[in-house]
Amino acid sequence: MAVPSDSNTSNSSFLHQFLQESCYPEELRDSIISLPKEEGWLTPHMYNYRGFWFDSKFLYGALRSQQQFQAQHSDIILSTLPKCGTTWLKALVFALTTRKQFPVSQQTHPLLTTSPQDLILNLEFFYARENSPPNFPTMNNNGVMRLISTHLPLELLPKSVGESKCKLIYVCRNPKDTFVSFWHFMNKMRGELVGLGEIPFPEAFDKYCRGASHYGPFWDHMLGYWMESLENPSKVLFLKYEEMKKEPDAHLRRMAAFLECPFSEEEEEGGVVGGISRLCSFESLSNLEVNKTGKGLLFGNSNNAYFRKGKVGDWRNHLTDEMATKLDQIVEEKFKGTGLKFNSDY
């Protein structure tokens, strides 16, 4: 299996480009700097492109992927907002789709030694690297099926994604926990990569509620995929983090059926489903050396940043009653009449 390598651009120079806005790619500089902007969480500015917020470098990656990425019928695209369970989804789908080549009982399973973030690359991050080859690497065992992740909203996916028969799995998470997770993650990245202090919690909350977080507004991002999953259920599978936590095995079976690789009777009897969900559980992955002390390929940041608590309802330890009510009201107003709901117990 081809595990991606960091051959073209070193972590540090990519990070430097990411943080320095003067390093905009020439061809996009004018169009990016004329967009509406506001102070970024990590970078000096975030830019609003067609209603969604981006760091300039990832906007460049998004635009470049729109121009260059050719989806194939057999591609599997994993889409999420940051902090909604991307790492978990990557692990689950990797283990699920490669289970013949890598039985989960094997001591040499790639998930035991490679971060899920590095096993499945992010589309726009990949294209944000200027020296990347035009073809997305084949990431899977048989050289045909590609596993690709993205944070792009449905509306901004490369056109070929809609035109091909490739499938998308989307995971969303209740916005209160997502916000708390995002705030912790951004603070960690600010400290580790940029040497900045924490973003004051009320300031971060205000930005999030205005939709000004990466790939936000969260409501438009979620609704785009939600509506598509209703219209086109064989194309988009829409899952919720909280329900996956409650019933991981049932969700694995749903994913397998959706991807047309259902578990055989023999696999069911052999405990393969439980084996995958155990391997990919928070407890298992977060205790692996690679995820405790390893560094990511793209930025060289600590892999442990992707594993904090992995719990439902941690917002209760952070949000005031007033804040929780405000976010609930936003959710209610934005999702009204769409059928998309979050269980109030979350």
DSSP E strand stretches across 22-112: 37-39, 45-49, 52-55, 76-80
Closest alpha carbon to 301 in 148, 58, 115, 127: 115
Q: How far is the CB of 134 from ligand A3P (least distance, A)?
A: 27
Considering the candidates 45, 73, 109, 151, report the single residue annotated as catalytic. Answer: 151
Nearer to ligand A3P, 32 or 122 (CB): 122
Q: For this structure, is 151 an active site residue?
A: yes
- Which parts of the chain are beta strand (E)? 37-39, 45-49, 52-55, 76-80, 147-150, 167-172, 236-240
Beta bridge partners of 47: 37, 54
CA distances from 31 to 28, 48, 126, 145, 205 (A): 5, 11, 21, 35, 29
- Rounded Cα–Cα distance for residues 133 and 27 (Å): 18
Q: β-pairing, 76-80 with 167-172?
A: parallel
Assign residue 163 a region (left: φ > 0; alpha: ψ between -120 and 50; beta: otherwise).
alpha
In whole angstroms, what is the distance from residue 23 CA to residue 105 CA?
A: 46
Nearest approach, Cβ of 26 to ligand A3P (angstroms)?
Answer: 32
Cβ proximity to ligand A3P: between 32 and 236 the closer is 236
Residues at the site binding ligand A3P, with contacts judged by CB under 6 A:
80, 82-88, 177, 181, 184, 280-282, 285, 306-310, 314
The Cα 342–Cα 246 span in angstroms is 14
Rounded least distance, CB 10 to ligand A3P, Å:
23
Closest CA to 225 of 178, 146, 156: 156
Nearer to ligand A3P, 75 or 242 (CB): 242
The DSSP bridge pattern shows strands 52-55 and 45-49 to be antiparallel
Which lies closer to ligand A3P via its Cβ, residue 32 or residue 276?
276
- Alpha-helical runs (H) found in 247-320: 248-258, 265-269, 272-279, 282-286, 289-293
Q: Say which residue the tokens 């070929």 belong to.
A: 160
Residue closer to ligand A3P by CB (options 32, 119) is 119
For the CB of residue 36, give the shortest distance to ligand A3P in the complex, in Å.
Answer: 26
Q: Which is nearer to ligand A3P, 32 or 178 (CB)?
A: 178
Q: Least CB distance from residue 111 to ligand A3P, whole Å?
A: 10
The residues with which 150 forms a beta bridge, in sequence order, are 79
Tell me whether residue 29 or residue 309 sits nearer to ligand A3P (CB atom): 309
C-beta of 70: minimal distance to ligand A3P in Å? 26
The SS3 assignment for 280 reads coil
**Tokens standing for residue 3:** 């595990």
CB of 94 to ligand A3P, least distance (A): 12
Q: Where in the sequence numbering do the catalytic residues fall? A: 151
